[in-house]
Structure formats: C-alpha cells, structure tokens
Amino acid sequence: MFETLIKMKESGDLKKFIRAGLMSSKVHTYLEISMWVDAKQKSSTRNLNSIVEDAQRNFGMSKSTIWRALRTMKGTENLVSKQAQKDA
C-alpha cells in the first residue's frame, strides 16, 4: 500500500483523490512524514527518536502525531508484505 501511495503521489492522482474528497488529507501528510523520516534514516546514523524530534519541529506536529504517522504507514507496509508471503 505504501508503494501504491507513492506512485499515486508521483502521478498526481493522490492530490486528485484528496481534492475530490475520496481520501483524507492526512494520508498525504502521513506519507510525507514517513518519506521524510525514511530519507533522514538513510542519510544519517542518528537514532529514530532524534529523527522524530526533528520531524516534530519540521512539520509543526506533536511527537505522538509523528509516531502515529510512522505506525500507520509502516504498519500498512508490513501488512501488505505479510499478505504477499501468505499468498505465495
């Protein structure tokens, strides 16, 4: 699902779905947070807690919101990969 959302974002379809009211703008926000945190993790050796603190300042949101976004996006990704393993 995470990959699907990224493809939708790249093609512009995600924005269209949000504007049409078919998806919440939180989907876009959570995706942006998740992608930002992933990029920071790959480019530095800092721990996840300090990256979440940076994300808190960068996005102007609480730590709990940042963690919720990460759980939502990463949890969905894990569920999809587990389902794919079951189907194989």
Q: Give the global pTM.
A: 0.76
pLDDT (0 to 100) of residue 65: 94
pLDDT (0 to 100) of residue 86: 36
d(CA 69, CA 55): 11
Q: Is the pLDDT of residue 4 over 90?
A: no
Q: Is the pLDDT of residue 77 over 90?
A: no
Ranges of each domain in the chain? 2-87
82: confidence class by pLDDT, cuts 50, 70, 90: very low
Average confidence (pLDDT) over 20-39: 92
